[in-house]
Amino acid sequence: MSAPIEAECLCVGYRNDVVVHDLDVVVEPGHLLVLMGTNGSGKSTLLRTLAGLQPPTGGAVRVFGEAPGRHPERVAYLAQRPTSALGLPIRAADVVTMGRFVHLGLVRRMTRSDRHICAEVMARLGVDRFADAAISELSGGQQQRVFLAQALVRGADLLLIDEPTAGLDQAGRQLFAEVIDAERAKGTAVVMATHDLVDAEQADLAVLLARRVVAAGRPDEVLTDTHLREFFGFTDRH
């Protein structure tokens, strides 16, 4: 069976601006890969490439054995906050339900099973308490929970999450950590961009980015004083 992610000499970025060079990494089912780096270091670009939203600029990457984007039903991508949605007159429950569209396509009707999945995830994340409120009426932390619920109801085997705990309070962070642990226990692989060293210490793999790969491997190998000094700004730029 193909691994969720296999990358060899992967380069990501834009036509004239490659932001991550030569990344080699394999993410197995149930593993957590944490991407750490300063703003503009390439974390979000790497996640977008893994989600199939932009092509790699070099090297090879396979998601479940094929090019990124070929298995949308097995991959969920949660961007930093989709700000375009925030003023919309759409109920939180409907935003969560949209996560099932990848399985329903254009015309298939929502089944009882689809509704059960949405209700279960909303209850787990506490979204059911404000399910009928318009997304525009919710606080930043509540909106973050709604979009996390939308990603979870997809039932994906690979979660790509971009700075999920930014804007969450302590209780929200705790809940998020529990949810990610539960997903990993089910065999879901998780790739998460974060600034939080605590997240990185819980991971199976960590990658330090500074517009290049500073270090990649097990957290205890990556989160060394030397690497972190380089990571926190004393870096050579390409």
Partner 1 sequence: MYNLLIAPFADNEFLRDALLGGVLAALICAVVGTFVVLRGLAFIADALAHGVLPGLAAALLLGLSPLIGAAAGTVVMMAGVQVLTRRSRLMSDTAIGLFFAGMLALGVMITSRSDSFTGDLTRVLFGELLGIDRQEILWQSVALAAVAGIAWLCRRPFLLLCVDPDVAATSGFRVRLYESVLLGMVALAVISCFQAVGSLLVFGLLVAPAATGSLFGRRISTVMVIAAVVGVGCVYAGLLLSYHADLAAGACVVMLAVSVFLVAFAVMEVVRWRHRPAPLPPHTHSHPHPGEVAA
Q: CA 71 to CA 77: how far, in whole Å?
A: 12
- 158 phi, psi to nearest 5 deg: -140, 125
Q: What is the largest CA-CA distance in the chain?
A: 55
Please check whether residue 110 is in contact with residue 93, taking contact to mean a CB–CB distance below 8 angstroms. no
* Interacting residues with partner 1 between 92 and 121 (CB under 8 A): 94-95, 98, 101-102, 104-107
Number of residues forming the site for partner 1 (CB under 8 A): 30
Q: Which residues of 22-44 are buried (b: 16+ CB within 10 A; e: fewer)?
A: ebebebeebbbbbbbbbeebbbb
Residue 79 in the binding site for partner 1 (CB under 8 A): yes
Closer of 31 and 71 to partner 1 (Cβ): 71
Residue 167 in the binding site for partner 1 (CB under 8 A): no
Pick from 19, 25, 75, 127 the residue near partner 1 by CB under 8 A. 75
Q: Name the strand (E) or helix (H) holding 217.
A: strand 213-217
Tokens of 123: 């209850």
The torsion angle over the Cα atoms of residues 160, 80, 122 and 112, rounded to 10 degrees, is -60
Residue 166 in the binding site for partner 1 (CB under 8 A): no
Closer of 69 and 140 to partner 1 (Cβ): 69
Q: Are strands 5-14 and 58-63 parallel, antiparallel or unpaired?
A: antiparallel
Q: For the chain, how are helix, strand and coil distributed in percent, rounded to 5?
A: 40, 25, 35
Closer of 90 and 123 to partner 1 (Cβ): 90
Tokens of 166: 């930014």
Tokens of 191: 């790739």
* Interacting residues with partner 1 between 133 and 162 (CB under 8 A): 134, 150
Residue 188 in the binding site for partner 1 (CB under 8 A): no
Pick from 1, 89, 185, 234 the residue near partner 1 by CB under 8 A. 89
Q: From the CB of 64, what's the least distance to partner 1, in Å?
A: 14
Residue 77 in the binding site for partner 1 (CB under 8 A): yes
Closer of 51 and 191 to partner 1 (Cβ): 51
Stretch that binds partner 1, among 90-98, 181-189, 193-201, 225-233 (CB under 8 A): 90-98
Closer of 99 and 172 to partner 1 (Cβ): 99
What is the binding site for partner 1 (CB under 8 A)?
48, 51-53, 69, 72-73, 75-77, 79, 82, 84-85, 88-91, 94-95, 98, 101-102, 104-107, 132, 134, 150
